[in-house]
Amino acid sequence: MVQRISAPPSTSTATSADRQVDVTRYGPGEAAQTFTRGDFILTHGNKMYDRLIHWAQGLKMHGDDRKYTRWNHAALIIDAAGTLVEANGDGVDCDSISKYTPTEYYLVHIEADDVERNNQVMFGKWAEGQRYGKLTICSVFLSLFFGSTIIFALQGQEICSGLVARALERAGYIFEQDPAHIMPADLAKYFEVQPPAKGTPIGKPPKK
């Protein structure tokens, strides 16, 4: 049973890369009504690779930064209808944001102009059909366990947050690490997305 939150979505404002970013939380059963292409969501997945990312984030984030490990999935919004481009275990494809209504998601509205947003969308559509970055996941774990600075991946493969990070670079958001190794927790930290109170339910992540 999906738990519905009676309170209105909580909204906060953060600053990232000298730009203002608006972050809105939608709890289980709530749904955003307006979308802007080039924005993205942080949310929850329950597939094997989502669980691996959650575990890796726990190894990477320490102290106060551990709060950012709440999310283990990210997806790029490519139109006003809320269509997403996302990388999951089956590869990169398009889907509706409505699939995440049973779980919480955070809608991150970035500051970008029309040209930058068009570039993001074009990149997202270009990436559609690519395979999931399984080798990238291995590279992430090697860097965490052994401190390796060598990044390896196969062309034509993406992980969820790496896909979003690469799209954000096309809007002028530059990260201190290779976007291939960006995880959802890194995006949350970079954009200062604050999690809700401890114990707040996440709902039910989609099964597909």
The verdict on residue 198 lying in a domain is: no
Q: At what angle do helices 160-169 and 114-127 cross, to 10 degrees?
A: 150
* Chain CA centroid to CA 106, Å: 9
Whether 205 maps to a domain, the answer reads no
- pTM metric for this prediction: 0.85
Q: What is the DSSP letter of 103?
A: B
CATH number at residue 88: 3.90.1720
Query: What's the pLDDT score for residue 24?
Result: 96
Which pLDDT score, from 0 to 100, does residue 36 have? 98
Counted domains in the chain:
1
pLDDT at 46: 85
Spatial distance between the Cα atoms of 100 and 123, rounded to a whole number of angstroms: 23
**Vertex 73: Cα angle to 31 and 139 (nearest 5):** 170
Structure tokens at 117: 């947003």
Q: What is the structure's pLDDT at 5?
A: 30
Q: How many Å apart are CA 66 and CA 153, to the nearest integer?
A: 26
Q: Does residue 151 sit within a domain?
A: yes
**Tokens read off for 89:** 């275990």
- Asked whether residue 6 is assigned to any structural domain, the reply reads no
* 155 within domain boundaries: yes
Q: Which one-letter amino acid corresponds to residue 201?
A: P
Q: Which residues contact 88 (CB under 8 A, 6 or more apart)?
A: 45, 47, 49, 50, 73, 132, 160
By DSSP bridging, strand 40-43 and strand 157-158 are unpaired
pLDDT of 18 reads: 73
Q: Which pLDDT score, from 0 to 100, does residue 97 have?
A: 97
Question: How confident is the model over 150-194, as pLDDT tens digits?
Answer: 555 546 568 899 999 999 999 999 898 888 778 999 999 999 999
Q: Are 128 and 92 in contact (CB under 8 A)?
A: yes
Asked if the structure places residue 92 within a domain, the reply is yes
pLDDT < 70 stretches in the chain: 1-17, 133-157, 208
d(CA 119, CA 169): 10
Question: Domain range for residue 166?
Answer: 11-190
| 125: in domain | yes
Residue 177 is predicted with a pLDDT of: 83
Is residue 169 a part of any domain in this protein?
Answer: yes
